[in-house]
Amino acid sequence: MVSYRGRVAPNRIDLPGTAEEAWDGWVELKRLPVADPLAWPSAVIVAAHPDDEILGAGGTLARLAAGGTRLRLVAVTDGEASHPGTDPRATARRRTAESADALRLLGVRDIEVIRLCFPDTGLAACENELSGRLGELCDGFGVCLAPWDQDAHADHEAAGRAARRAARQAGQQMLSYPIWMWHWAIPGDRRVPWERACQVLLSTEVAARKTAAIGAFASQLTDREGAGPVLPPGIVAHFTRDQEVLLR
């Protein structure tokens, strides 16, 4: 929620969103410049929560792994706050196990996974510390992939800002992957820097692996005691395309 002149406005994530059919019908999405991830000798993938890396860049990860690229996944939180009212330690264990299963289903086996155990929903308060840790962990890698810092999710944005500062310090190329943007934005939305967007193309096999990997996150796909799933089918549909969009 955000305050505007004394009024409280809902977060864009909580408002009715854009259906995947609208994005599928927008021809400009298919005309974005094509990026070649196999040109990257090494890459660090930053995830604010378990599943971010799969939703936003799972297909790219699969292509990098198949090409023998050196990979490091930095899991900033364990996603322990996704199910209020449940034991956060149990939630964290479940979600990290789901992330491991998803990587296996993608065929991403030779990847270094580093879990920082920062507080879920609390990254904005420790952004400077996170930036310092990421600076150490990004050093020596050519590319950093991280959540978009204008995604309308506080943790995504804090992780994205911290990663951008760390990548700049390390002299890395920085690429952002949007997640909730596909929900709150509309085709051609001026709030999105389309001039900095590129696409990674996914083969039928890679797209199928990504869909299977998303299915590993049962905790996010099933009903939460009447509150509905974190990732309802309409949201998941944005991530089962034959492309992934990154922002340079």
CB atoms within 10 A of CB 6: 5
For 205, how many CA atoms within 13 A lie in the half-sphere containing its CB? 4
Q: What does the pLDDT look like over 146-178, one tens digit per residue? A: 999 999 999 999 999 999 999 998 899 999 999
pLDDT tens track for 117-142? 999 999 999 999 999 999 999 999 99
Position 5 scores a pLDDT of: 47
- pLDDT given at position 7: 52
List of the chain residues with pLDDT < 70: 1-9
